[in-house]
Structure formats: structure tokens, C-alpha cells
Amino acid sequence: MFFIVSNIVEHSVPRVGCSSFLSRKYIQSPPKKRCPVLASIFQSFFPAESNTSKVVQLEACNISHDAQQAVFVDNMAGEARTLENVNLEILEGEFLLLIGENGSGKSSLLNILAGLDVPDQGYLKWYGKKIKSADIVSRIGIVFQFPEKAFVGDSVFEELTLGLEHVLPEDIEEALDVCALNNISLTTSPFLLSGGQQKKLALACQLLRFPLILFLDEPLSGVDHFSRDSLIKVFDKLKRKMTIVVVSHEPAELFSRADRVLQLFGGQVRQVPESVIQKAMEWRRLKQNGF
Ligand SMILES: Nc1ncnc2c1ncn2[C@@H]1O[C@H](COP(=O)(O)OP(=O)(O)O)[C@@H](O)[C@H]1O
Ligand SMILES: [Mg+2]
């Protein structure tokens, strides 16, 4: 049963001042119904603009996984596994960028971290305590590489509110505003939106679920140049409001946003040296300037 104030189901969302969340402090447990003055959909517990804390929020411990094994039971004998003894710490409030070639296992790892897949070996810890995959799911938000494949609503409004017991109109407004979607009609089919808008809608859907960690799988792939810039501005707004983990095989624009950059290679996670990141950013600058 949705809790809706009727005027929200109008054609487009009225623009309201939502920028105030940027200067607010946040609390850890989202209230069932928000107090319009003190709360926000950004129920992060990181003070705005603070530096990343060193508190480990989620930890992958000795994760090994063979993604192909799930489908083709016998054909991988002797070959390298998708993930081989991966150890990874996600720090509270950070913007973590995980890069790697296509097929290196980024999505497989993301799905495990998000509790959507159970690793063949290894386990996850939440604030230092072992946690079952199924118990992670409600704490995270994930935007898949092809979010449109997961859309089921007939309208943007239905997509945003599906499965939610209580939705406040101001939360919907805020989610759409932050995702730069306030000019779309709530009655539009999600399938009629552009690729960039679909990614933003999927993100808005996740924000309405109060994620403590946001996982974004290839958020810029299949998105035109204009939408890429717009999406990056959205990420900039969300940075420091919640923990963000982005995986990407084309990370050029994301390097400068990331607090840490890790690479998946040969089934393992490794640190990307600062010098390599600087070179990649310089190369991008030269390319942009026509060299
Ligand atoms: N459902 C699946 N069935 C079979 N193989 C899979 C499946 N998912 C992933 N793989 C394989 O696992 C490896 C890692 O895939 P993936 O995690 O999607 O990599 P990335 O996201 O880095 O491109 C690839 O070799 C891929 O073909
Ligand atoms: Mg992938």
C-alpha cells in the first residue's frame, strides 16, 4: 500500500528547493516517515563535506568465485576462476572506483558485494561482523549496467514506488531533482526514456530505498556525451552523502572524482598507482584538447 499525496501524480514534478540536503547533517537510521525539516532521502551518516572516514563499512574476505560455473557446470576445470581470493575493504563515505577490462569480473564482484550473488568461497563483513548475503541487500542500492532490463513499471511513477510501503511526495521530488529528472512526466513509460534518463531513473529508484552504499555498474556506458556530463554532475552531488562504489571499464571522467581506484586483474583486486591515474588523466586532457 503506497502512502501518496495526490498532487504528486501530476504530469511533471514541481520544482522545489532541494539543495538544502547539501548542508545538512545526516543520521544513521532512516525514519519511517521523514520530518520535512530535518531529514532528507540522503540518510547518510556522514557529515556533509567531511573527509572520508577510515571506518570499514563492508569487507570482502577471501572471496573466490567462478561466474561461469553457475551455468556450465563442468567446462571450467583447470581454468582460472573469475575471482580468486579477493580481499577488499569499502570505507564509509568513500567514492571507490573499481576498474578492469571487460570480463575481468567487475560485475560478478559487485553482485557479490551487493548480496545478490553468493560467492563460492569467502564471506562478507558489515562493520567488522560477518554477514549473510541476504542481509546485505536491504542496506545497499545497485544500478545495473542495463537498468532498463529490470524495469517493470508502466510509468515512471510506478517504477519509483514499486515495492515501497511509504513514499513521501517530497522524497520523490528530491530524488528526481537530485538525479536531474524533474522535467520528465511521471506518467511516461520508463521504456520511452533515453539511455541516460533510464540510468538516472534507476538511480532515483535506489535513492528512495535509502541505501547506505550505492553500487553503480558501468554507469556511463551506452550514454551519450550530454547525458554523461549530466550523470557525472549527479555523482558529484551524491559524493559524501553515501558510500559510492562505481565499476567501469571506461573510467576516464571518473578518476578525478574517486577517493581510491582499484583494478580487477587476473581475478584479483590491486591498487592502481597514483602515477598511472595521473598519466591517464593527462592523456585524457591532451585528447580533449585535440592532440
Ligand atoms: N551468468 C554468467 N554465465 C556465464 N558466465 C558468466 C556469467 N556472468 C559472468 N560470466 C563470466 O564471468 C567472467 C566475468 O564477467 P563479469 O563479472 O561480467 O565481468 P565484467 O563486469 O568485468 O565485464 C566473464 O568471463 C564472463 O563471461
Ligand atoms: Mg560488467
pLDDT tens figures, 151-168: 999 999 999 999 888 888
For residue 244, what pLDDT is reported? 95
Ligand 1 lining (C-beta closer than 6 Å):
67-68, 70-71, 82, 100, 102-108
Region of 74 please: left (phi>0), alpha (psi -120 to 50) or beta. alpha
The pLDDT-based confidence of 67 (bands split at 50, 70, 90) is confident
d(CA 284, CA 252): 7
- Positions annotated as catalytic residues are 218
Region of 163 please: left (phi>0), alpha (psi -120 to 50) or beta. left
Higher pLDDT, 17 or 185: 185
pLDDT in tens, 118-139: 999 999 999 999 999 999 998 9
pLDDT in tens, 225-272: 888 999 999 999 998 888 999 999 888 889 989 999 999 999 999 988
d(CA 106, CA 83): 9
For residue 53, what pLDDT is reported? 67
Name the residue at shortest CA distance from atom 18 of ligand 1. Answer: 107
Neighbours of ion ligand 2 (CB under 5 A): 106-107
For residue 291, what pLDDT is reported? 67
> To test ligand 1's pocket by mutation, which of 64, 66, 68, 144 has the most ligand atoms within 8 angstroms of CB?
68
Residue 11 has pLDDT above 70, yes or no: no
Which ligand 1 atom is the nearest neighbour of the CA of 110?
A: 17
pLDDT in tens, 27-62: 334 444 443 433 555 655 455 455 556 899 999 999
Ligand 1 centre from 67 Cα, in Å?
Answer: 6
What mean pLDDT is predicted for residues 115-120? 95
Q: At a CB cut-off of 8 Å and minimum separation 6, what does 136 contact?
A: 58, 113, 114, 115, 124, 126
Ligand 2 centre from 107 Cα, in Å?
Answer: 4
Phi, psi (5° rounding) for residue 44? -85, 155
For all residues of the chain together, what is the average pLDDT? 81
Name the residue at shortest CA distance from atom 3 of ligand 1. Answer: 68
Residue 175 has pLDDT above 60, yes or no: yes
Calculate the CA 161 to chain-centre distance: 18
